[in-house]
DNA sequence: TCCGTTCGTGCAATCGATTGCAGGGCCCGG
DNA sequence: CCGGGCCCTGCAATCGATTGCACGAACGGA
């Protein structure tokens, strides 16, 4: 068994423990413990407390988190489960989580599932085995067994980005309905009437509510959301966007704009348009969703809906912290407002396209 | 103090411990421990071992990592310190690390420094406080106090992507010199002679060795690496790329190609070119480095050098694991080979530019 | 038959903290 | 002057594993 300690200036120094601090301060370890723990600090009188804190400082004492966790059953660790960190929406979310946790001494442990149910289960088990105090899930489907399990087993959990249909769980999401409304209103204001929608998977709250948002916004604008002008993608991917666009165009060639459920799907539209020789925004306009990095560098730059990803992560972390510290905090639903970022992929319909082709 | 346990099927079940397993198998806890630990498994006879394993299985036993860590001083956790997860080169590296660790039971804990020295120090301290078994650093500068400290304190560490000048530390990096050589050779083959370089910070091994690689490759190709055609960026950023490009062009207007030290700097060249009305690759060619996502979507798509990021992460994790398991493993230097990805930002110099302007 | 060796298992200390409980000192009132 | 109560601090058990050491059984040889 290795001996705890570190090399300082080339010399091996055994690790400083609470005992060492107590010994130096000439008090019992329990007293030292109470001084160093903010919650019990007030139990000890000032002069003794000072002796302990100075001793701790002089020795460079750092508490052993394993001993703490073993005794208290709290690891000050939370699991963050996301589909894929390579998806550019997640890094800012993660930074938000990290920053919000930093002050409170919690650490986030990350895992990617690639949207694979089995892998999700495995990771969930491993997180529990690691004794995380809570979970932040960005992988929820509208009906999600993992979320059900968290609730059943009373594991503190906060959903992020996506949510579930059952309402008895905390989440922090973007207002997808409102966001899509922004895109539709933007297009309608430019004179578009025959607007199509390429939705994401309807089993995900994001896909579902953006789809619903599209239908509502069209109705509200006095426009018709024709079923033939709605395509459903099997995933939020470029290839699915391309496929769904081509399929859509088989059914209808009169639309003048496409509201894509996210930026990747919009990129799929770019690909398809290039293939079949259509110009954006000359032949049709496109809007995305998320405002990924580098969209402004595309040709044409993509009009999209910006989501406050960083705040989303930070808020989710705060919500979880409240639950972890406060014990049985109430279920909290937070919805953040997105904003439209108008760029060059949207323009007024040309006279030619306005007539239909 | 909360009692360890979980809710299963709505009922609270106290956590299963090694004692429970031992009791059920009618053996001592030490025996159960030895059976469940692969290293000591052979000490126990088969029939008894079987009793223990079935008992463990029936009870759904999961060892408490905190107790393990407290006793053994190993947390099976490693810290991964990177500048910024939002930089698209890091997610694939992280995935590689995660996957390579997954099998061995290690967990990576991530932290971002934003290239801030103070923050680096803080994070380093926190990692040590968390008792990580080792570190993977992607933040190294050529002379790096943090790396020095790791070596002094004998903390297992592997550098990734960037390295330091002192050679007595393990690292996994890309062959930057070779990679830049690919870009230079590609341009030279197209007929470019007056090639410029926008280097990254020379205090980073990446900036330095790409710069050196440029000079060497030019010499090797029988070309002159003129100082006036070399600009230095203060950071691997778009804005620095733009600034350095404009500055470069003040000094020299005869170059027909720019080898940028990375993709962001190349993007800065795009910005500058647009501002002053130059066309790529009509007026000059540009190459990047890293092959970030979406470069193929740019107008024009960017010729760049692809780095095997995922493998880099995986290899770094394996190198660290060898050190952690094998005790005093030798210092290991791994260099991965990049490849050229030719796209539309490079073309033969036009007759006009070939003459100089 | 008896003793020595070997092999397998149990005993108990230990890692480094937290915390309920007990005890001692001090202050104040009778 | 003495006793009771109230803080403040110390004692010791405890969390759940690992591991050096000791002990007992089984076996083989004399």
Query: Are B113 and B81 contacting, i.e. CB atoms less than 8 angstroms apart?
Result: yes
Query: Using CA atoms, how far apart are residues A267 and B119, in angstroms rounded to an integer?
Result: 37
Query: Residue B220 domain-assigned?
Result: yes
What is the full per-residue pLDDT of chain A (357 aa) written as tens digits? 556 676 766 666 678 999 999 999 999 999 999 999 998 998 999 989 999 999 999 999 999 999 999 999 999 999 999 999 999 999 999 999 999 999 899 999 999 999 999 999 999 999 999 999 999 999 999 999 999 999 999 999 999 999 999 999 999 999 999 999 999 999 999 999 999 999 999 999 999 999 999 999 999 999 999 999 999 999 999 999 999 999 999 999 999 999 999 999 999 999 999 999 999 999 999 999 999 999 999 999 999 999 999 999 999 999 999 999 886 678 999 999 999 999 999 999 986 654 444
Ordered DSSP codes for B137-188: ES---SS-HHHHHHHHTT--EEEESS--SSSSSEEEEE-HHHHHHHHHHHHH
Q: What is the pLDDT of residue A356?
A: 45
| DSSP summary character for residue A110 | E
Residues A297 and A230 in one domain: yes
Please count the structural domains in chain A.
Answer: 3
A71 touches strand C (CB under 7 A): yes
Query: Residue B322 domain-assigned?
Result: yes
Within an 8 Å CB–CB cutoff, is residue A270 touching chain B?
yes
* Residue B72 CA distance to nucleotide D27 C1' (Å): 37
Query: Residue B321 domain-assigned?
Result: yes
Within an 8 Å CB–CB cutoff, is residue A239 touching chain B?
no
Query: Using CA atoms, how far apart are residues A141 and A146, in angstroms rounded to an integer?
Result: 9
Residues A280 and A193 in one domain: yes
> Does the beta-carbon distance from B66 to A75 stay under 8 Å?
yes
Strand C contact nucleotides, protein CB < 7 Å: 8-12, 14-20
Q: What is the pLDDT of residue B355?
A: 47
Residues A137 and A249 in one domain: no
Query: Residue B82 domain-assigned?
Result: yes
Within an 8 Å CB–CB cutoff, is residue B152 touching chain A?
yes
* Residue A26 CA distance to nucleotide D7 C1' (Å): 20
What is the nearest CA distance from B221 to chain A, expressed in angstroms? 34
Domain that holds residue A236: 176-303+342-355
Backbone angles phi, psi at B7, to 5 degrees: -90, 120
Beta carbons within 8 Å of B114's beta carbon, 6+ residues apart: B83, B84
* Residue A214 CA distance to nucleotide C17 C1' (Å): 56
> Does the beta-carbon distance from A293 to B88 stay under 8 Å?
yes
Q: What is the pLDDT of residue B357?
A: 43
Within an 8 Å CB–CB cutoff, is residue B11 touching chain A?
no
> Does the beta-carbon distance from B8 to A153 stay under 8 Å?
yes
Q: Count of A–B CB contacts within 8 Å? A: 126
> Does the beta-carbon distance from B66 to A66 stay under 8 Å?
yes
Indicate the pLDDT class of residue B297, thresholds 50, 70 and 90.
very high
Residues B59 and B165 in one domain: no
> Does the beta-carbon distance from B3 to A88 stay under 8 Å?
no
Which CATH number do you get for residue B257? 3.40.50.2300
User: H or E element: which one contains A82?
Assistant: strand A77-82
Residues A190 and A299 in one domain: yes
State the average pLDDT over residues B319-346.
92
Q: What is the pLDDT of residue A1?
A: 55
User: Which residues numbered 90-129 in A keep a CB inside 8 Å of some CB on B?
Assistant: 91-92, 94-95, 98, 107-112, 128-129
> Does the beta-carbon distance from B154 to A73 stay under 8 Å?
no
Q: At what angle do helices A29-36 and A46-59 cross, to 10 degrees?
A: 90
Nearest to A257 by CA among A233, A222, A295, A266: A266
Query: Residue A351 domain-assigned?
Result: yes
Residues B349 and B227 in one domain: yes
Residue B356 has pLDDT above 70, yes or no: no
Enumerate the residues of chain A whose CB falls inside 8 A of the CB of residue B267: 297
Query: Using CA atoms, how far apart are residues B238 and B272, in angstroms rounded to an integer?
Result: 10
Domain end among B63, B84, B109:
B63
Q: What is the pLDDT of residue B350?
A: 83
* Residue B28 CA distance to nucleotide C23 C1' (Å): 38
Q: What is the pLDDT of residue B245?
A: 98
Q: Is the dihedral of CA A222, A226, A227, A232 positive or negative?
A: negative
Within an 8 Å CB–CB cutoff, is residue A65 touching chain B?
yes
Residues B320 and B347 in one domain: no
Query: Residue B151 domain-assigned?
Result: yes
Within an 8 Å CB–CB cutoff, is residue B326 touching chain A?
no
Residues B207 and B276 in one domain: yes
* Residue A69 CA distance to nucleotide C26 C1' (Å): 38
Residues A235 and A128 in one domain: no
Query: Are B278 and B271 contacting, i.e. CB atoms less than 8 angstroms apart?
Result: no
Which of left, alpha, beta for A291 (phi over 0: left; psi -120 to 50: alpha)? left
Indicate the pLDDT class of residue B131, thresholds 50, 70 and 90.
very high
B4 touches strand C (CB under 7 A): no
Indicate the pLDDT class of residue B273, thresholds 50, 70 and 90.
very high
The three-class DSSP label of residue A289 is coil
Query: Residue A322 domain-assigned?
Result: yes
Q: What is the pLDDT of residue B85?
A: 97
User: H or E element: which one contains B79?
Assistant: strand B77-82
| DSSP summary character for residue A354 | H
Enumerate the residues of chain A whose CB falls inside 8 A of the CB of residue B8: 152-153
What is the nearest CA distance from B216 to chain A, expressed in angstroms? 33
Which CATH number do you get for residue A39? 1.10.260.40
Residues B189 and B273 in one domain: yes
State the average pLDDT over residues B178-194.
97
Number of other CB atoms surrounding residue B356 within 10 Å:
11
Structure tokens at A3: 């001996």
> Does the beta-carbon distance from A95 to B73 stay under 8 Å?
no
Query: Using CA atoms, how far apart are residues A73 and A78, in angstroms rounded to an integer?
Result: 13
Dihedral angle at the C-alpha atoms of B206, B211, B213, B218, nearest 10 degrees?
Answer: 160
Residues B135 and B213 in one domain: no
Ordered DSSP codes for B215-228: HHHHHHTT----GG
Q: Is the dihedral of CA B199, B204, B210, B212 positive or negative?
A: positive
Query: Residue A70 domain-assigned?
Result: no
Beta carbons within 8 Å of A351's beta carbon, 6+ residues apart: none
Enumerate the residues of chain A whose CB falls inside 8 A of the CB of residue B2: 72-74
Number of other CB atoms surrounding residue A11 within 10 Å:
8
Enumerate the residues of chain A whose CB falls inside 8 A of the CB of residue B66: 66-67, 69-70, 75, 131
> Does the beta-carbon distance from A112 to B98 stay under 8 Å?
yes
Q: What is the pLDDT of residue A350?
A: 83
State the average pLDDT over residues B147-153.
94
Q: What is the pLDDT of residue A251?
A: 96
* Residue A189 CA distance to nucleotide C28 C1' (Å): 83
Residue whose CA lies closest to nucleotide D7 C1': A43
Residues A166 and A180 in one domain: no
Structure tokens at A113: 């599932």
Query: Are A214 and A259 contacting, i.e. CB atoms less than 8 angstroms apart?
Result: yes
Nearest to A81 by CA among A124, A122, A116: A124
Which CATH number do you get for residue B54? 1.10.260
């Amino acid at each position: 068994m290795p001996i705890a300690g570190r090399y300082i200036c080339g010399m091996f120094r055994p690790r400083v423990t609470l005992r060492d601090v107590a010994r130096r301060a000439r008090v019992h370890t329990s007293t030292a413990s109470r001084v160093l723990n903010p919650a019990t600090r007030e139990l000890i009188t000032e002069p003794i407390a000072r002796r302990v804190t100075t001793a701790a400082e002089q020795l460079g004492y750092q508490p052993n988190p394993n001993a703490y966790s073993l005794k208290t059953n709290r690891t000050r660790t939370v699991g963050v489960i996301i589909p894929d960190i390579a998806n550019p929406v997640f890094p800012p979310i993660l930074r938000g989580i990290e920053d919000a946790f930093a002050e409170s001494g919690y650490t986030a442990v990350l895992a990617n599932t690639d949207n694979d149910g089995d892998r999700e289960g495995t990771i969930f088990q491993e997180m529990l085995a690691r004794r995380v105090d809570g979970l932040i899930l960005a992988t929820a489907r509208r009906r999600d067994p993992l979320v059900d399990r968290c609730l059943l087993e009373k594991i503190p959990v906060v959903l992020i980005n996506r949510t579930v249909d059952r309402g008895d769980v905390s989440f922090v999401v973007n207002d997808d309905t409102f966001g899509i409304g922004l895109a539709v209103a933007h297009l309608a204001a430019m004179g578009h009437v025959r607007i199509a929608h390429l939705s994401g998977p309807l089993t995900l709250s994001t896909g579902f509510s953006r789809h619903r948002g599209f239908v509502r916004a069209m109705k509200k604008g006095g426009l018709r959301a024709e079923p033939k002008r709605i395509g459903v993608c099997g995933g939020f991917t470029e290839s699915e966007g391309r496929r769904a666009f081509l399929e859509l165009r088989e059914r209808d060639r009169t639309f003048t704009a496409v509201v894509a459920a996210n930026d990747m799907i919009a990129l799929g539209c770019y690909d398809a348009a290039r293939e079949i020789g259509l110009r954006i925004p000359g032949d049709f306009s496109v809007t995305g969703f998320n405002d990924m990095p580098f969209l402004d560098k595309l040709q044409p730059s993509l009009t999209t809906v910006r989501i406050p990803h960083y705040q989303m992560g930070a808020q989710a972390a705060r919500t979880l912290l409240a639950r972890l510290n406060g014990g049985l905090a109430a279920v909290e639903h937070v919805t953040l407002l997105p904003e439209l970022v108008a760029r060059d992929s949207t323009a007024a319909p040309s006279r030619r396209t306005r007539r239909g082709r």
